[in-house]
Amino acid sequence: MNRVKRETKILQTVSNIENVIKLYDVVHDQGSQTISLVFEYFSLVDFHKIFLKLNDVQIKLYLFELLQVFFIEFVIKNFKSSDFGSSAFIWHHA
């Protein structure tokens, strides 16, 4: 259950980044102990076809956006929330 909460927190944090699917709500069913995530609608796309059409600059931008998401996930996993100010990820020096 902790992993689900951590992953949900990561999704909430990165959902305001452009080209990342928006997480609208987290619904917890008390009876079945099931957690449901409500995302914005998007149509399924064959990324292989799109990726083949990208030029070098577009591929670099795509990879940069992925790195941003992975960086935020890394920060959330490896640092205590008390190390940062509010939601702006401002590092506080001790």
| Token pair of 66 as six digits | 């992925």
Structure tokens at 75: 């920060």
Residue 55 has pLDDT above 50, yes or no: yes
Of 75 and 39, more confident: 39
Paired strand residues for 36:
27
What is the rounded average pLDDT of the residues 58-84?
Answer: 75
Confidence of residue 1 (pLDDT cuts 50, 70, 90): low
pLDDT of residue 57: 92
pTM above 0.85, yes or no: no
pLDDT number for residue 81: 52
Whether the per-residue pLDDT at 74 is higher than 70: the answer is: yes
What is the rounded distance in angstroms from the CA atom of residue 48 to the CA atom of residue 78?
A: 33
* pLDDT in the model for residue 93: 44
What is the separation of C-alpha 78 from the centre of its chain, rounded to a whole number of angstroms? 15
- Alpha-carbon gap, residue 78 to 34, rounded angstroms: 27
| Better-scored residue on pLDDT, 48 or 83 | 48
